[in-house]
Amino acid sequence: MWAQASEYCKVVGKRLPSETEFEFAARGSDGRVYPWGDAPPSERHLNGCGTECVEWRKEQGLAVVEPLYAGSDAYVGTAPIGSFPEGRTQAGLFDITGNVFEWTADPFRAYPQPGVATPPEPATNNRVIRGGAFNSFEPEHTDPALRLPYDADAYTHGIGFRCAADPK
């Protein structure tokens, strides 16, 4: 799936964003905690796992989880882009947290630890995903710094992408 996302961006004259670009776009230049500011996540900010998701999980016989926020965002699955205008970033981007995780251009590598020798990375096909998804109930999934490894060949309904371009 990563290769298809990357190829699509190339076809339209763009590319997948780097991890650094994604985080800056999500966090902005003013040091905000979340893409929308410092207020805790709510059903007004993103499509995550609210009460609608908890109820759906119960109906499906899945494990009980605590909702990410107390209300319902009205979408059990993905939502139309721009459904959460209060969750816009400083630059006006929609859905950079929630709805679907997003591929970045970068292969997954552990961050180096100061004063600790970095062991060689195992050869994997993992790429970095960021941003949380509609079924995210863990609060850390709303953190723009969250980065997760995911197999670049995997197909899942919870990962999407956005294209980036260099300034002209």
Whether 119 is covered by a domain: the verdict is no
- Inter-CA distances, 124 with 1, 24, 78, 115, 118, Å: 15, 26, 29, 25, 17
Which three-class secondary structure state does DSSP give residue 164? strand
Whether 115 is covered by a domain: the verdict is no
List, for residues 104-121, the tens digit of each pLDDT value.
Answer: 999 998 877 788 777 666
Whether 116 is covered by a domain: the verdict is no
Which three-class secondary structure state does DSSP give residue 149? strand
Q: Are 16 and 5 in contact (CB under 8 A)?
A: yes
List, for residues 6-26, the tens digit of each pLDDT value.
Answer: 999 999 999 999 999 999 999
Domain count, the chain: 1
- The residue-averaged pLDDT of 28-49 equals 94
For the cut 90, the answer to whether the pLDDT of residue 31 exceeds it is: no
Is 0.75 topped by the overall pTM? Answer: yes
List, for residues 120-154, the tens digit of each pLDDT value.
Answer: 666 689 999 999 999 999 999 999 889 999 999 99
**CATH number for 74:** 3.90.1580.10
Domain that holds residue 164: 1-6+14-36+45-109+124-168
Q: Which helix (H) or strand (E) holds 27?
A: helix 19-27
At 13, which amino acid appears? G
Whether 62 is covered by a domain: the verdict is yes
At 166, which amino acid appears? D
Whether 1 is covered by a domain: the verdict is yes
For the cut 80, the answer to whether the pLDDT of residue 103 exceeds it is: yes
Q: Are 112 and 84 in contact (CB under 8 A)?
A: no
Whether 118 is covered by a domain: the verdict is no
